[in-house]
Amino acid sequence: MAATMHVDIVSAEESIYSGTAEFLVAPAEMGEVGIYPRHAPMMTRIRPGAVRLKKPGETEEELVYVSGGLLEVQPDVITILADTAVRGADLDEAKALEAKQKAEAAMKDQSSKLDFARAQAELAQAIAQLAAIRKLRKTR
């Protein structure tokens, strides 16, 4: 049996995943990080993207979209505190495309720097959601 670690992925609204995993890949601020059991302790911010985790005894990875937040790694416990988190299977491509189009339009019609920054953040989240959807389709 492979070594495992406990993983908790929570958002402000709910607990998305709480269980064991053989490994986890997360979109850290400076690039993706892969974490196996007994990883050195660390803490980092995460950017919008897909968290991939491999559950024991399953061949396919589970995907969870996160819009940002914090990742804490302890030797046998991984905690992700996400601003927003959605199970990969629950992502809606039509909504993500619509959000992307709205953000792009808002960037063109900016009335202030704050509006532009907000539109940029929304665009990054929509692009990350679409990438997570593509990854999910590829694995199936």
Q: For position 60, what pLDDT does the model report? A: 86
What is 92-139's CATH number, 1.10.10, 1.20.5, 1.20.1300, 3.40.50?
A: 1.20.5
Collect the ranges in the chain with pLDDT lower than 50: none
Is domain 5-88 given the CATH code 1.10.2020.10 in the classification? no
Per the CB < 8 A criterion, the answer to whether 40 and 73 are in contact is yes
Q: pLDDT (tens digit, 9 = 90+) per residue, 67-93?
A: 889 999 998 999 999 988 888 766 666
Instruction: Give the tokens for residue 82.
Output: 């996400």
Residue in 22, 90, 97, 12 with CA at minimum distance from that of residue 52: 22
Strands 77-82 and 5-10: parallel
How many other CB atoms sit within 10 Å of the CB of residue 124?
17
Containing 138, the helix (H) or strand (E) segment is helix 113-139
pTM for the full model?
0.69
